[in-house]
Amino acid sequence: MSIAMAFSAPGPPEAMRLVEVEPREPGPGRVRVRVMAAGVQPADTAARAGHSRLAPADGIVGNEFAGVVDRVGAGVFEAMPGDAVIGFTTMGAYAEHVTVDAGQVVLKPAGLSWIEAAALSASGQTAHTALTDLGVRAGETVLVHAAAGGVGSMAVQIARCWGATVIGTARPANHAYLRTLGAIPVAYGDGLLERVRALAPDGVDAALDAIGNGALTASLALVRDRSRAGTIVDFPSAARRGARAIRTRRSGERLRELLAMWGWHELRVHVSRTYPLHRAADAHREVEAGHVRGKVVLTMPALDAGPEAFAARALVAA
């Protein structure tokens, strides 16, 4: 048996409980991974709270993970048992084992830690999709709202890798962090338009809203082409106002491109805090409170291999 964090009905963070589950055998074209760490996303908290169309039938959330392949199905040649991989899934990653299509995992570089690897896939692929859809090119100026968050941090670095200048909104406490990523920081709130125009008098070429709360309104006031203002959160406003609603399109190819950027030292993963699996509720509370710099990650018993792993087993036994 394996353990996982799951909820039986949508609710607050404490609705999640440790449960025992039977690991799924991989069918043809699929692999099973023993998870070492899993990233925590706003999409996870929304699903747990019942605010998402993504409702896991087994109550196990989680969209990204890193671990070791332990079994493969027929016809799988890209990954073998014992391979260290990074992967993505539509829910199910808050568990000791996850089974996915072989195309949803790629080999993990040896120099990338388990914790960093677990936090790269979901935010990285969302940011990459968004900047691709917005047509960001070298020599342009891009505005990224919530630039210190998980998606924002990735978007800043990818846009910089592609040769763009990036202006990033964040609270002042995160401005030094944004500078280390290569962004020009500005404070959000009253006066944002004037602060951005002081840096880009002719406006910006593209803008990405990763937070909502009126950020799309500011984007539309600053871009010259409304179709180059995009949001990953405020879809109703985008539909009403002619902006671009962006949903992630994940693939092994996109993930490998992100890992190539990491290998070129153009992309790094910032993890603000880790929690053991049995404290997933605390991780959700932190993410829901906002102002997370980079990502929050859950570590699994296979990685903890100490008091935290013992505590998880004891909680299941109780």
Domain CATH number, residue 212:
3.90.180.10
Residues 45 and 96 in one domain: yes
The whole-angstrom separation of Cα 306 and Cα 60 is: 24
Q: How many structural domains comprise the chain? A: 2
Cβ-contact 295, 29 below 8 angstroms:
no
Residues 130 and 240 in one domain: yes
Cβ-contact 56, 47 below 8 angstroms:
yes
Count of beta carbons in the 10 Å neighbourhood of residue 6: 21
Residue 263: inside a domain, yes or no? no
Residue 68: inside a domain, yes or no? yes
- The pLDDT profile of the chain, 318 residues, written as one tens digit per residue, is 899 999 999 999 999 999 999 999 999 999 999 999 999 999 999 999 998 887 787 899 999 999 999 999 999 998 999 999 999 999 999 999 999 999 999 999 999 999 999 999 999 999 999 999 999 999 999 999 999 999 999 999 999 999 999 999 999 999 999 999 999 999 988 899 999 999 999 999 999 999 988 899 999 999 989 999 999 999 999 999 999 999 999 999 999 999 999 999 999 999 999 999 999 999 999 999 988 999 999 999 988 766 555 555 556 545
> Which helix H or strand E contains 67, and what residues bound it?
strand 64-72
The whole-angstrom separation of Cα 37 and Cα 60 is: 15
Residues 49 and 113 in one domain: yes
Range of the domain at 31: 2-120+269-317
The whole-angstrom separation of Cα 176 and Cα 147 is: 12
Query: Residue written as tokens 């968050």?
Result: 149
Residue 77: inside a domain, yes or no? yes
Residues 151 and 199 in one domain: yes
Residues 103 and 26 in one domain: yes
Domain boundary among 245, 278, 307: 245
Residues 37 and 115 in one domain: yes
Residues 111 and 209 in one domain: no
Residues 97 and 139 in one domain: no
Which tokens hold the place of 36? 């070492």
